[in-house]
Amino acid sequence: MATHALETDDDRLVDPRETALPGSVLAQREAIPAIYGSIDFSRMPERFSTDLGDKVEMPARFASRRAELLADAECLELIRAYTMTGDRTADAYAALMPEYGFRRLVDMLDLACEQGIEAVADAPAELRAFIAAMEAKPDWLDMELVEQGARQERNAHVHLTPFVLRGAFIATFMNKYSALPMALTGTLSNNTAARRAYETGSFFTSSLMPGALRRDGAGFKAAAKVRLMHSMVRANIMRSGKWDVGTYGVPIPQVDQMPAGLIGTYLMAREVLDSGRETFTPEERAKVELARYRCFLLGLPEDLLSDTPRGIEKLWLTRQATLRAEFDPETCGSLLRATMAAEMTQGGGALAGVKRWMEGGFSKLFFIEHFMGGDRKLAASVGVTMSAVDKIAALAALAFVHGRIRWFKLLAALPPTREWADHRLVRKLAELLETYGHADFITDASKYKPSV
């Protein structure tokens, strides 16, 4: 196979899989040996591919751009580095599990978020660093713009999310290299798939409440707990001694945090570029600021948080251009089947039944269109099929959702009803959070399945 290579200053060809990673990546091994001490950072894992002959996660419409993306040495280097990078700050705190136990770590974090770090008696230095990192304000941050972005997002989120949550959740484990950590936790079965999807929905929904991402907001606390949960999974998997780093690399690397945190921003960037524009409107820019700061709180490095349509597209597509494609029937298939079988619509009666029917069809349509490139045969090959009844359900849901969105847009455009409409949307967000229930954002190693 022909291997793509980078040209150095002395015109030698270097395989990007073998070039040295930045010192910040290598430093993880010395800083947190309990998680990274056994990792050989001298070579990239199987999941990372720059071979033009390999099948990767590039959408068909962008396949012709792969060579161009791989030729961008600066962007490729970022994706390489963050393919082998976890969350150094939260990881250091999670590495204290043998000493403190996972429940005490969660409780101390809860208290620090709610009352401040000084409220935690004998707070470990790792917790102090964790809270300090989340309290830090990046130079670009405009909290008023973040609040505007949340207000802009409420309408679509509250009406659309119940119908797309399943489809978006499925997309996170369609690749065996990025899906394995979730499979190993043993926490996604027919009985728990809805709960995990609800936890995801709960975090993003809570982040849209007024003031949620401010220091004393519920979204700030939820971000801290999500971040710790990911680090606990990373620590437990690496501590097992059975994780295949040569194949999978670092569990839950930063490049795998991008899809969940930035999918909406990427889709918006795509719409902007497809329309012939190169810049966001003020309303779109506010949504980008919201997404960037939310991801910052989740621990994503600022290098991955572009604020332009082209920058967002380049980072997203370069990740896909380097992520080897493989759907494992056992790993990905079990997660897919569990999520498809999950009961996502609560309640009984005719209205709940109609919503359940519409959600089933619409979630499939959303998944196929946005993550399978509209290829129904490809979707069927991984177990997602649409019947005629599903299509009718999807169309009904589409009419229902967009009807409500348009109605609230109209109300928001009229000065006499603008504030009432936003207050009503906030109440709807609260109702959605009640539906999702209490989100623990914890992971118990005693329930993990045997690893590879």
Which pLDDT does position 379 carry in this prediction?
A: 86
CB 91, CB 251: distance < 8 Å: no
Confidence of residue 12 (pLDDT cuts 50, 70, 90): very low
Which pLDDT does position 190 carry in this prediction?
A: 52
pLDDT beyond 70 at 13: no
| H/E stretch holding 6 | strand 6-7
Residue 219 falls inside a structural domain: yes
CB 5, CB 15: distance < 8 Å: yes
Which pLDDT does position 167 carry in this prediction?
A: 80
Question: Could you read off the pLDDT of 109-122 as tens digits, one per residue?
Answer: 999 999 999 999 99
CB 219, CB 191: distance < 8 Å: no
Give the mean pLDDT of 57-75. 93
Residue 146 burial (CB count, 10 A): 23
**Which residue is listed with tokens 């010192």?**
23
Query: Residue 155 CA to chain centroid, in angstroms?
Result: 21
Which pLDDT does position 347 carry in this prediction?
A: 73
pLDDT beyond 50 at 9: no
In the chain, what percentage of residues exceed pLDDT 90? Answer: 63
Which pLDDT does position 285 carry in this prediction?
A: 97
Phi, psi values for residue 253, rounded to 5°: -70, 170
State the Cα–Cα distance between residues 194 and 204, nearest whole angstrom.
Answer: 16
In sequence order, which ranges of 71-101 are alpha helices (DSSP H)?
Answer: 73-83, 88-94, 97-100
More confident call, 23 vs 451? 23
Residue-number span of the structural domain to which 414 is assigned: 89-440
DSSP assignment of 362-420 equals HHHHHHHHHHSTT-HHHHHHTT----HHHHHHHHHHHHHHHHHHHHHHHHHHSHHHHHH
**Which residue is listed with tokens 């899809």?**
259
Which pLDDT does position 394 carry in this prediction?
A: 93
Alpha carbons within 13 angstroms on the beta-carbon side of residue 208 total 27
More confident call, 388 vs 346? 388
Residue type, 412: A
pLDDT beyond 80 at 446: no
Q: Which among 250, 248, 209, 247 has a CA at the least distance from the CA of 233?
A: 250
Residue 229 burial (CB count, 10 A): 22
Residue 400 falls inside a structural domain: yes
Confidence of residue 440 (pLDDT cuts 50, 70, 90): low
Residue 78 falls inside a structural domain: no
Residue 81 falls inside a structural domain: no
State the Cα–Cα distance between residues 38 and 386, nearest whole angstrom.
Answer: 45
Using a 10 angstrom Cβ sphere, with 0-12 exposed, 13-18 middle and 19 or more buried, the burial of residue 155 is: buried
With both helix axes pointing from N to C terminus, report the angle between 193-206 and 331-341 in degrees, rounded to the nearest 10: 80
Residue 70 falls inside a structural domain: no
Which pLDDT does position 7 carry in this prediction?
A: 41
Residue 350 falls inside a structural domain: yes
Give the C-alpha distances (Å, rounded to integers) separating 147 from 210, 419, 428.
7, 14, 17
Confidence of residue 242 (pLDDT cuts 50, 70, 90): confident
Confidence of residue 198 (pLDDT cuts 50, 70, 90): confident
State the Cα–Cα distance between residues 299 and 228, nearest whole angstrom.
Answer: 10
Which pLDDT does position 180 carry in this prediction?
A: 81
Residue 133 falls inside a structural domain: yes
Which pLDDT does position 188 carry in this prediction?
A: 54
State the Cα–Cα distance between residues 363 and 342, nearest whole angstrom.
Answer: 12
Q: Which among 445, 451, 447 has a CA at the least distance from the CA of 229?
A: 445
Contacts of 149 (CB under 8 A, 6+ apart): 286, 287, 288, 289, 290, 291
Which pLDDT does position 178 carry in this prediction?
A: 86
State the Cα–Cα distance between residues 339 and 192, nearest whole angstrom.
Answer: 9
Question: Could you read off the pLDDT of 127-143 as tens digits, one per residue?
Answer: 999 999 999 999 999 99
DSSP-based three-state secondary structure for 159: helix
Which pLDDT does position 450 carry in this prediction?
A: 42
Question: Could you read off the pLDDT of 32-57 as tens digits, one per residue?
Answer: 999 999 899 988 999 999 999 999 99
- Average predicted confidence (pLDDT) for the chain: 88
Q: Which among 184, 172, 208 has a CA at the least distance from the CA of 452?
A: 184
Confidence of residue 369 (pLDDT cuts 50, 70, 90): confident
pLDDT beyond 80 at 195: no
pLDDT beyond 80 at 302: yes
Give the mean pLDDT of 366-383. 85
Which pLDDT does position 282 carry in this prediction?
A: 96
Give the mean pLDDT of 154-170. 88
Q: DSSP secondary-structure letter at 255?
A: G
Handedness of CA 186, 194, 160, 422 (dihedral sign): negative
Residue 40 falls inside a structural domain: no
pLDDT beyond 50 at 373: yes
Question: Could you read off the pLDDT of 376-411 as tens digits, one per residue?
Answer: 988 888 888 999 999 999 999 999 999 999 999 999
Model pTM score: 0.86
How is residue 70 written in tokens?
A: 């791989």
Q: What is the number of domains present in the chain? A: 1
